[in-house]
Chain A
Amino acid sequence: MDRRKSLKVIVLGTVSSGLLLDACKTEDKKTIVTKMPKASEEKHPGLMKEEVAHLKEVDSYTYFTPHEMKTITILGDIIIPKDDVSGSASDAKVPDFIEFIVKDKPENKVPMRGGLQWLDMQCLNRYQNSFAECNHKQQMEIVDEIAWPKKAKPEMQQGVNFFNLMRNLTSTGFYTSEIGVKDVGYIGNTPNQWNGVPADVLKKHNLAYTPKELKECISFSS
């Protein structure tokens, strides 16, 4: 069921006088007055005009080169690969998210581009190929030198910083995607009736509601 429809069901269930039924009767002066005009154009409901202008500006150019995007994609899928629970970072379109976010948060532009360059230089020196052109074994060798902050050699520290940033941006992009939200198991963001911690969870943690809480708090019959 569409979220907004399920919203109406829940509200009608809890409001005995049928709030939303009343709202349909446009003549009734007691109902919600929606005569205030909308804040902004239909295309971007609820956005300030400055936000719309900013989005236009961000979307007007491309930052990463195709080569950089290829590298970002390979790294992203090393960080978040497909596993038996969910897809990979590229399945969740994380590279597109990273392209957007460095333009939206430009303080990331230099660390990202510089990190990608650093990585390519490391690979050129060792393997005479950029990272994207290396074979999988070579790619994992260099990744293993920068993916473990507590084990990395001191001269690899810039790479460690870059990989930390890539890991954080990749996971942020992944776990806020539809695939990632499902993977991590967040099941909220929907009309709900909060009736307290489930009984089996209470039992597991040796917790219970007091008689006072059971009496004074909102309850929903299951």
Chain B
Amino acid sequence: MGNFQIKVQPKKYDAVIIGSGAGGGMAAYILANAGLKVCLLEAGPNFNPAVDSKQLQNPWESPRRGASTKYRPFGDFDGCYWGWEIDGEPYTNAKGSDWEWWRARMVGGRTNHWGRIALRFGPKDFKGKSADGLGDDWPIGYEDMKPYYDKVDKLIGVFGTNEGLVNDPDGIFQKPPKPRLHELMIKKGATAIGVPVIPSRLSILTQKLNDTRGVCFYCQQCNRSCKIFADFSSSSALILPALATGNVDLVVNAMAREVLTNRDGLATGVSYVNKEDMQEYQVMGRTVILGASACESARLLLNSKSPRHQNGLANSSDVIGHYLHDSTGADMGGIIPELFDRKRYNEDGVGGMHVYTPWWLDNKKLDFPRGYHIEYGGGFGMPVYGFQWGIENLNGTYKVKGKQKEAGGYGASLKEDYRYFFGSHVGMAGRGEAVPRFDNYCEIDPEVVDVYGIPVLRFHTKYSDYEINQAKHMKETFSNILHSMGAVITWGGDDGPEDNYGLHAPGNIIHEAGTIRMGNDPKKSPLNKWAQAHECKNLFNVDGGQFVSQGDKNLTWTILALSLRTSEYIVDQLKKNNI
């Protein structure tokens, strides 16, 4: 039990799992609880939210007051190590490509700081091609996945409400928190113009789930990771219980280099670099499960060449790395004059929106084929670096306590302005479905290696008019909602065709998927419907790589459900000696 360094490991595990995020964590949990011996490799260092979270730290306890760094791009309190750039681990973009790649390096991966948004796919999300001829259908459907979504809801917990929406299916929900003031105003303004607003669905425990996880106490800091495990992080909810079984050897600071195979083309284990001594190690297993994140898992397979797998492991389809897609994103925000100079109270809720808007329109009547949901923000936030930055753009435009002031300034009058505007901001962001395309892809860069000598990825991605038109629609919708609720737009209102209506660069939303997709035809998909490689039956993928498409649903809940399903299949197959 516990965490020890492996050199030349004679022990043969039932499974070697690469990556301890949502997918890898679930696989470790299921396999370990089934009595199987697991070696879990994690490229980053240890992270236990109970010990390492910055939850409840005051802004002045950070020397930079919560500002972002390259180590924590989402802010100094954020619970994620690394992000857009990692020292010693470059990646490249082909000319004209603008992929932005987020990589966490820590036990639990990016589930330590994620948005907690837990949305099931609906029936339509699995069968996009059948609906509009674009992309491909998944080889499975909602009916295959429903039992696993139900299990994940019960195992990990999510709040929300059953609304009877066909494509935003009912689940096993805990009670949601009441909307906050800005959310009530959003609900009123949006509903008045036909945009629905319903309780959000977040993986935060508002009610007791089990004996090892606490119940939310509304500090609004989920992104810091939760010391009492009230929100889902793979580290706290899956890895720690998996370790408790005694069946998991967790190896941290282990950068996987390639998957090893034998003459028959079967996976035999993983070769990795120990980052602390820069030596190479190998660990053997009856199965190899990739959960390193969509692009990293693809990279591993492409780098695992052998005589039997000359294009990379399990890649005679030549599809690995292709069909790369992300959620689309565009946003807008402003201020609500009705909320100037408002009464102070503790407005902290959960660390995310209490309400949201699921996709509500018929794409057949629009100039883009797929939908988006809307996420909302606002309210009194803890002051951090950047607090009311640029007040010179605000305090001359609106009367402050009935006085027309000159923009900018200083002094007691300026202090009055900061108090006056605090808590009057509101913002919204769309998260939509992009159409996966073969010609959006990542491949091995022929010239560049990282500091471990592992060839890096080179990206080729570009959005199409489908995504650009969707972003344009988002902006129109946001503008209408903001006006309807009496808000004034202060940012995000100036985008236009010249900048794709503010559509974020691909990869920037951090929902990358599709690079090792599943499908029934081995010529078009590396994986079968069990996320098992067609050409290597003891090789599996449990992260976003396996996704054929991603709806507008954020990936994590489906990653967890798929990994649970695949892991139960692996347990079954191992016990039958089929793999």
Chain A interface (Cβ < 8 Å from any Cβ of B): 3-4, 7, 10-11, 14-17, 19-20, 22, 29-40, 45-46, 48-51, 54-55, 78-81, 83, 85-86, 97, 100-101, 104-105, 143, 147-151, 163-164, 167-168, 171-173, 175-178, 180-181, 183-198, 200-202, 204-205, 207, 209, 213, 216-219
Contacts and interface: CB of A to CB of B under 8 A. Distances in A.
Interface stretch (B55-63, B450-458, B490-498, B557-565): B55-63
Interface stretch (B89-97, B175-183, B293-301, B361-369): B175-183
A175 B58 CA distance: 12
B64 interface: yes
Nearest to B242: A33
Nearest to B63: A100
A167 B391 contact: yes
Given A4-B56, A46-B51, A171 B71 contact: no
Given A101-B64, A172-B389, A192-B218, 8 more contacts: A29-B244, A40-B52, A86-B415, A148-B406, A148-B408, A173-B65, A218-B177, A218-B207
Given A86-B415, A185-B344, A207 B184 contact: yes
Nearest to A82: B412
B243 interface: yes
Contacts of A218: 175-178, 206-207
B411 interface: yes
**Interface size band for B:** 35 or more
B244 A33 contact: yes
Given A167-B408, A181-B59, A188 B382 contact: yes
A100 to B, nearest CB: 5
B445 interface: no
Contacts of A201: 181, 342-343, 345
B217 A11 contact: yes
Contacts of A79: 410-411, 414
Contacts of B389: 168, 171-172
Given A7-B228, A194-B349, A184 B217 contact: no
B120 interface: no
B53 interface: yes
Interface of B: 1-3, 45-48, 50-54, 56, 58-60, 63-67, 69, 71-72, 81-82, 87, 106-107, 161, 175-181, 184-185, 188, 199, 206-208, 211-215, 217-221, 227-229, 239-241, 243-244, 250, 338, 342-350, 380-392, 396, 406-412, 414-415, 418-419, 422
A140 to B, nearest CB: 9
Contact of B1 (A35, A183, A193, A213): A35
A105 B67 CA distance: 9
Given A32-B229, A83-B415, A194-B178, A184 B422 contact: yes
B550 to A, nearest CB: 28
24 contacts: A19-B214, A36-B239, A39-B52, A46-B52, A46-B53, A101-B385, A104-B67, A143-B410, A149-B407, A171-B418, A177-B59, A177-B60, A181-B58, A184-B418, A186-B422, A187-B346, A192-B348, A194-B350, A196-B179, A197-B180, A201-B181, A201-B343, A216-B176, A218-B177
Nearest to B348: A188
A83 B411 CA distance: 9
B342 to A, nearest CB: 8
Q: Which of B206, B241, B385, B412 has the largest count of A CB atoms less than 10 A from its CB?
A: B385
B177 to A, nearest CB: 5
The 3 closest A-B pairs by CB, nearest first: A46-B52, A196-B178, A188-B348
B219 A81 contact: no
Contact of A16 (B208, B384, B391): B208
B103 to A, nearest CB: 14
Contact of A40 (B45, B184, B380): B45
Given A48-B45, A192-B348, A35 B2 contact: yes
Given A35-B1, A151-B406, A194-B218, A188 B346 contact: yes
Contacts of B418: 171, 175, 184
A32 B240 contact: yes
B161 A216 contact: yes
A97 B178 CA distance: 38
A170 to B, nearest CB: 9
Q: Which of A19, A143, A195 gathers the greatest number of chain B CB atoms within 10 Å? A: A19
Contacts of B178: 194-197, 209, 213, 217-219
A49 B275 CA distance: 13
B51 A175 contact: no
A195 to B, nearest CB: 7
A7 to B, nearest CB: 7
Nearest to B46: A39
Contacts of B384: 176
A171 B388 contact: yes
